[in-house]
A and B are shown apart, each in its own frame.
Chain A
Amino acid sequence: MASVKFDRKIFEKEIGKLNEELKNKIALFGTTIESLNEKEIELDVTPNRPDLLSYHGFRRSFLSFLGKKTGLKSYALNKPEKNYEIIVSSSVKEVRPYTVCAIVKNLEFDDNKIKEIIDLQEKIHATLGRKRKKLAIGIYPLDKINLPITYEAREPDKIKFIPLESDKEMSGLQILQNHESGKAYSHLLAGKIKFPVFIDKENKILSMPPIINSEETGRVTSKTKEVFIECSGFDLNLLEKCLDIIVSIFGEMGGKIYQMKVGGKVYPNMKIDENPISLERVNKLLGLNLKEKEIKDLLEKMGHSYEKGIVKTPSWRTDILHEVDFIEDIAIAYGYDKFEYKIPEISTIGKENSEEIIKRKISEILIGLKLIETSNYHLTKKEDQFVKMGINEKQEKNFLEVENSKTEFNLLRKDLTHYLLKIFSENIDNEYPQKIFEIGRIFKLNSQENIEEIEKLSIGCAPGNFTEVKQILDYLFKNLGLEINVKEQEKAESFFIEGRCANIIFENKIIGYLGEIHPKILRNWKIKMPVSLLEIDLSEIFKKFN
């Protein structure tokens, strides 16, 4: 989701007064108002509509949505004049294979329009361009350039020019190392032997995409009347869409668009997309009963045209993949607020997951014993899972980590036990006795290195001793109508007191443990009360009831 800011005065003059009704229309168009003040209006634009990322693009579509100037828009394309050409060298194949270009004349820039174009460029870089990874755009004042232009790749030390926002000449590598923009995007050229550049007829470097333009030829000012535009990247189809979005905005500003020859082809083409639509499917999916004329009107409100089952769509719409995309446009034009709510009478039988039912029963039994249910994160810290539990992390293998966590929580919890102790340690000032339980999922790697997600139950008492927690265990299983045994642990868990801990055995399988927590562990957690605790794998219990 990208947000865009428009000048409020211009907005109100050209589109309409921002009263409640218009604000509501903006939301119903799918662009929520993020903020609104005296000077600016800020809108959220969804990623499928990069054509709305500038004021002129928004105005074009929104006025049409409001019923003014509806239907398919087009801008005249002028054939390439002499020298309107880009020579694409084969050297770019390895580094940044494609470019598409255009020239726009007859422009009248002011500060607002320049800002709009720069903002649009940046928003497209961030969204469609995936932070310039997929594409980068350059816009240059044509009067500083001698056509034709060559697009080629050069060794970095053979690239020398003064980049924007700098006053001295730098080499390709210096730009990556020292220039702000170079540093920010250097990863996009990392490891390349040659860097791509646009060069004019006089061998002047215009830019080094996707990093930076030259100071001399790459700065559009209010005096600029004619511009050269290039988009470079890896996906020709996407580049064309991007170029079409930008030239269409220039067109909307009153510019005269000229095509250029690029490596034997001609761009931009602004090819109108033609697709069939089934009126029956439209009505069926939306639950409406629209007539052909109505559908035609609605499509035109969204900037399409319709004739005899065919929808024509302007080339700058990147989001039309399938008929359903027209159906959504029709729904938006119809008005999301006008749809009726219906619940069909279809007979289906509701059903809870059986494990959830068993978990709830267990909770009910434990609540009867005045236990309080807790709920913890599934991610945990190594410090809590291992160090404080007296476990040497280096000897642990069967745990799972997440990559690049933004917090210290970077481990999937292996048990609930450590989290219950954490709760006790964070509640030393609250009234005792504290009896708590949690039912939740833990994660581990089994002996075949497969990931297992297991539902577990853990119960803790503070103050608590072995008897107390065993009483709870006995009561629980008696209520479940199941028989269990406990057997002393031959090798005590690191956190239990030896001789005061046992395995819980159900149908000849060890399903858990119970015991008294060792004072050294209580000390790690700064717990001042004796604690006894149990933890059970519920899988076998689930099986029993299924």
Chain B
Amino acid sequence: MEKIIESLSPNERKILPYLEDNLIDICKKSNLDKVAVLRALEYLQNKKLIEIESEKKKIINIGLNGALYKKKGLPERRLLSVLDQRRILSLNEAQKEAELNDDEFKVSIGVLKKKALIDLKNGKIVLNSNKEEITKKSLEEIFLDTLPREMENLKPEENFALNELKKRRGIIEIEEEKKIAIKINELGKKIMNSKELSKDLIEQITPDLLKSEKNWKGKKFRRYDVSFSVPKIYGGKRHFVNSSIDYARKIWTEMGFEEMKGNYIQSSFWNFDSLFTAQDHPVREMQDTFFIDRKIENSNKKLIEEIKKAHEKGVDKSKGWKYEWNLELSKKLCLRTHTTVLSAQTLSNLKKEDLPKKFFAIGKCFRNETVDWSHGFEFNQTEGIVIDKNATFQHLIGYLKEFYKKMGFDNIRIRPAYFPYTEPSLEIDAWHSEKKVWLELGGAGIFRPEVVIPLFGEYIPVLAWGPGFDRILMDYYQIKDLRELYKNNISQLREIKTWMKN
């Protein structure tokens, strides 16, 4: 019990003596506002000193017009009393004398006619009832006098009156009110009457308090309810896509890979031709790729010749694609459709004495797409190449398996696939242990001789991969809609969890 008393906040202490009163009185006596009292009551309930029973009730109250009419009388009453004196009146006169606005006048006539108290004849109002009927209070008037009332327990005639009045503007208002009943239990009663309550406890520790030892020595500190929830705060944060990309970047560098970087705007020469993608390949249509209406010359004439030869006749006994390669088409600019363009450029800058080498890239790629939950025109790819005379297909799978293990996927499988620039090619799936499905992650392979020879000068196995990255991101952050990656909803960015894998 002592512990509980020590944990009572100043406001809880203030209201404790008045718990047997109703809410309004508690507020008055403790000199606290309703919000503070309600919160203090909740804390007391958490400490199991009281039980609060609350119920929502609909309360019928007098509205703005209603209050006015209560003073001056309902419009129909006012009209009736004018008629009581004159019996027959023209509409205009009646309205004027009863001091009613158009609305009120219309309603009054409607109401009185309905009750058969008046008649309308030749544009005149004729009183149609005796004194007794006139003076009798209407159901509406009687009901109005009883307000405020709870919605429940209305008598049938009161319900009728309510419905009539509800049709008219501003006479009544229906409010929802939370009604609470406080039940004080044994412990609560004990504490209410405890002498310990008046004991002085230290609240906030202030610099003033710390100035002198006597301020706190031997005194008790008020106990806090440490389980209570505190207001949220937010810090600064990396964008979740970038922080996960940084994580992948770390994996590749730890595995001895060097980062490649390059432009988003590339010539078709680098994006397609250097990767043995024939000039009539569907990916080179505007349907699929963002082209820019500009051209760029490649100054490396020797390389152009080699690429042309690879396409037309093939290199190293390859048959090639057997068509006439068009230099102009290769100059056309596009937004890179894959990071593999960086691998091609890197390969063309390598010298034999540099080997073995391993490179990676993670970055944006583009495709001409409409935007919906599973499509977008920008996506992230993670690229890697290993240039090593002893590299094999098994190494390719090994690197990929290691990368995905670090990304949290222990079980991957590979299937045959097709890309114009790799052979053998494969597709990687990762087993999603919660969803129990294979996630398609993307493609990989060993660069074809038709790619390697023109770029590097001779054939050497180049292991290459370029799976998408966004699917892993979406899975990790449980994002169902691709558009959410770049929505920049600040509250989502504030709340989203940090990328954590190891």
Contact = CB atoms under 8 A, between A and B. Distances in A.
**Do A and B actually bind?**
yes
Interface of A: 27-30, 32, 46-49, 130, 133-134, 235, 237, 275, 284-287, 320-325, 327-328, 331-332, 336-337, 339-344, 346-353, 355-356, 360, 363, 366-379, 400-407, 409, 412, 423, 426-427, 430-431, 434-436, 441, 443, 451, 453
A436 B490 CA distance: 9
Contacts of A443: 264-265
Given A235-B323, A423-B488, A27 B415 contact: yes
27 contacts: A133-B280, A235-B322, A284-B392, A321-B320, A324-B449, A328-B416, A337-B414, A342-B392, A348-B257, A350-B257, A351-B259, A352-B249, A352-B259, A363-B242, A367-B237, A370-B235, A372-B493, A378-B366, A379-B377, A401-B293, A403-B290, A423-B490, A427-B488, A430-B489, A430-B490, A441-B264, A443-B265
B446 interface: yes
B263 A343 contact: no
Given A27-B415, A351-B258, A426-B488, A343 B398 contact: yes
B238 interface: yes
Contacts of A423: 488, 490
Nearest to B249: A352
Contacts of B461: 285
Interface residues of B, number: 90
A349 B450 contact: no
Interface in B472-502: 485-486, 488-491, 493-494
Contacts of A451: 265, 294, 333
Given A30-B416, A331-B393, A348 B291 contact: no
Max count, chain B CB within 10 A of own CB: residue among A347, A355, A372? A372
B418 A342 contact: no
B402 interface: yes
Max count, chain A CB within 10 A of own CB: residue among B413, B416, B418? B416
Contacts of A134: 280
B286 A404 contact: yes
Q: Nearest 10 A-B pairs (CB), nearest first? A: A287-B392, A30-B416, A350-B253, A46-B418, A328-B424, A367-B236, A287-B394, A402-B290, A322-B318, A353-B259
Interface string B2-23: 0000000000000000000000
Contacts of B235: 367, 370
Contacts of B347: none
Nearest to B487: A426
Given A324-B424, A348-B356, A363 B238 contact: yes
Interface stretch (B35-43, B62-70, B205-213, B367-375): B367-375
Contact of B370 (A323, A367, A407): A407
A191 to B, nearest CB: 19
Given A321-B320, A372-B237, A373-B239, A453 B265 contact: yes
Nearest to B394: A287
B322 A237 contact: yes
A374 B282 contact: no
Contacts of B425: 328
Nearest to A408: B371
B286 A403 contact: yes
Interface string B307-339: 000000010111111110000000001010000
B104 interface: no
Nearest to B250: A352
A342 B357 contact: no
B397 interface: yes
A350 B256 contact: yes
A32 B415 CA distance: 9
Contact of B423 (A328, A344, A376, A434): A328
Contacts of A404: 286-287, 291, 368
B254 interface: yes
B257 to A, nearest CB: 6
Contacts of B239: 372-375
Contacts of A402: 290-292, 335, 368
A342 B399 CA distance: 8
A46 B425 CA distance: 11
B83 interface: no
Nearest to B485: A375
Contact of A321 (B318, B418, B493): B318
Interface string B282-299: 100011001111100000
B401 interface: yes
Contacts of A322: 314, 316-319, 423, 448-450
A375 B486 contact: yes
B280 A130 contact: yes
Given A349-B258, A371-B236, A375-B486, A332 B416 contact: yes
Contacts of B321: 321
Given A322-B314, A324-B424, A287 B393 contact: yes
Contacts of B427: 32
Given A286-B393, A370-B235, 18 more contacts: A30-B417, A46-B418, A49-B418, A237-B322, A287-B394, A321-B321, A331-B393, A336-B426, A342-B394, A346-B390, A348-B258, A350-B253, A350-B258, A351-B253, A376-B488, A378-B264, A379-B378, A441-B264
A375 B470 CA distance: 14
A332 B414 CA distance: 11
A316 to B, nearest CB: 15
Nearest to B258: A351
Contact of A403 (B292, B370, B402, B415): B292
Nearest to A347: B256
B391 interface: yes
A64 to B, nearest CB: 15
A287 B293 CA distance: 45
Contact of B364 (A133, A378, A426): A378
Contacts of B264: 378, 441, 443, 453
B150 interface: no
Max count, chain A CB within 10 A of own CB: residue among B241, B257, B391, B488? B488
Given A328-B425, A350-B255, A350-B256, A285 B392 contact: yes
Nearest to A436: B490
Contacts of B449: 322, 324
A369 B425 CA distance: 47
Interface string B45-69: 0000000000000000000000000
Contacts of A407: 370-371, 377
Nearest to A374: B488
Contacts of A352: 249, 253, 259
Interface in B425-468: 425-427, 446, 448-450, 461
A311 to B, nearest CB: 13
Given A353-B261, A375-B242, A427 B424 contact: no
Contact of B490 (A346, A378, A427, A453): A427
A367 B489 contact: no
B301 to A, nearest CB: 21
A352 B291 CA distance: 30
B291 A344 contact: no
A374 B399 contact: no
Contact of A367 (B238, B263, B378, B448): B238
A383 B426 CA distance: 43
Nearest to A359: B242
Contacts of A28: 415-416
Nearest to A453: B263
B233 to A, nearest CB: 9
Contacts of B416: 28-30, 46, 328, 331-332, 336
B357 A327 contact: no
Contacts of B368: 402, 404-406
Contacts of B78: none
B44 to A, nearest CB: 31
A400 B292 contact: yes
Contacts of A350: 252-258
A48 B418 contact: yes
Contacts of A363: 238, 242
Contacts of B200: none
